[in-house]
Chain A
Amino acid sequence: DADVTQTPRNRITKTGKRIMLECSQTKGHDRMYWYRQDPGLGLRLIYYSFDVKDINKGEISDGYSVSRQAQAKFSLSLESAIPNQTALYFCATSDPRTGGYEQYFGPGTRLTVT
């Protein structure tokens, strides 16, 4: 079974709709991240969370919000989707006890906003 799962895997939605992407992990990691990936731009950090009560904005948080419902769950919401939010979204986790910040990624959610 995958350690980091994301649902849905693919989603098509219309401009103005609210959408939630969900991430769950069984790795027992405290730290969780949401990224978006656009062709040629690498990964850009949207939000990150070090524990349930610690949530921080990343590089591109405008238009997004998050919820950390439990250690294992971290959700990303687009309050009013717009076409330039069409991208591949990844959730990741990390464990600082390893001595570094290697991140473990979910399979991704491909979101299309029409």
Chain B
Amino acid sequence: ELKVEQNPLFLSMQEGKNYTIYCNYSTTSDRLYWYRQDPGKSLESLFVLLSNGAVKQEGRLMASLDTKARLSTLHITAAVHDLSATYFCAVDMDSNYQLIWGAGTKLIIKP
């Protein structure tokens, strides 16, 4: 059974700090996705990582994928309040075309 684990599940940090959210998964997959959700809102796609070693950056967020370690990271640089949200990772189960989701990391960035 494929499991996707995120940690931490909750993170409170100050503006200007750096931090990393981790996404571990339990079986082979070459494709991983990061989404953002604001409170009461829908999910917005942030990054699509489609191969080992993939790295994507958008503003203060950078995501990477290590398929050998079955690990993806979402790194936040010099956090700002607007990045406060819940971040989800999801892993592609190629055998049946589904995404398996982590539980989400709730990020609060204090001004």
Please indicate whether A and B come from the same complex rather than being unrelated chains.
yes
Q: Which residues of A contact B (CB under 8 A)?
A: 31, 40-45, 48, 50, 58, 90, 92, 96, 99-108, 110
Instruction: Return the chain A residue nearest B86 by Cβ.
Output: A42
Q: Is the CB of B43 closer than 8 A to any CB of chain A?
A: yes
Complex contact A102–B48 (CB within 8 A): yes
Instruction: Return the chain A residue nearest B106 by Cβ.
Output: A40
Q: Name the one of A42, A50, A105 contacting B42, with C-beta atoms under 8 angstroms.
A: A105
Q: Name the one of A92, A100, A104 contacting B50, with C-beta atoms under 8 angstroms.
A: A100
Complex contact A40–B103 (CB within 8 A): yes
Instruction: Return the chain B residue nearest A58 by Cβ.
Output: B98
Complex contact B31–A50 (CB within 8 A): no
Q: Within the assembled complex, what's the spacing in Å between the Cα atoms of A100 and B33?
A: 10
- With A58-B98, A96-B97, A108-B42 as known contacts, state yes or no: A41 contacts B92, CB within 8 Å: no
| Contacts of B68-99 to chain A: CB distance below 8 A | 88, 90, 92, 97-99
Complex contact A43–B48 (CB within 8 A): no
Chain B contact patch, size range: 20 to 34
Chain A residues near B90 (CB, 8 Å)? 43, 103
- With A90-B43, A100-B31, A108-B42 as known contacts, state yes or no: A50 contacts B92, CB within 8 Å: no
Complex contact A42–B103 (CB within 8 A): yes
Q: Within the assembled complex, what's the spacing in Å between the Cα atoms of A76 and B42?
A: 18
Chain B residues near A106 (CB, 8 Å)? 42
Please indicate which of the listed interface residues A45, A50, A102 has the most CB atoms of chain B within 10 Å of its own CB.
A102
Chain B residues near A102 (CB, 8 Å)? 33, 45, 48
- With A50-B97, A90-B43, A105-B42 as known contacts, state yes or no: A42 contacts B48, CB within 8 Å: no
Please indicate which of the listed interface residues A50, A90, A99, A101 has the most CB atoms of chain B within 10 Å of its own CB.
A101
Give the distance to chain A from B28, nearest Cβ to Cβ, in Å: 15
Complex contact B101–A101 (CB within 8 A): no
Give the distance to chain B from A10, nearest Cβ to Cβ, in Å: 11
Q: Within the assembled complex, what's the spacing in Å between the Cα atoms of A21 and B32?
A: 29
Give the distance to chain B from A83, nearest Cβ to Cβ, in Å: 20
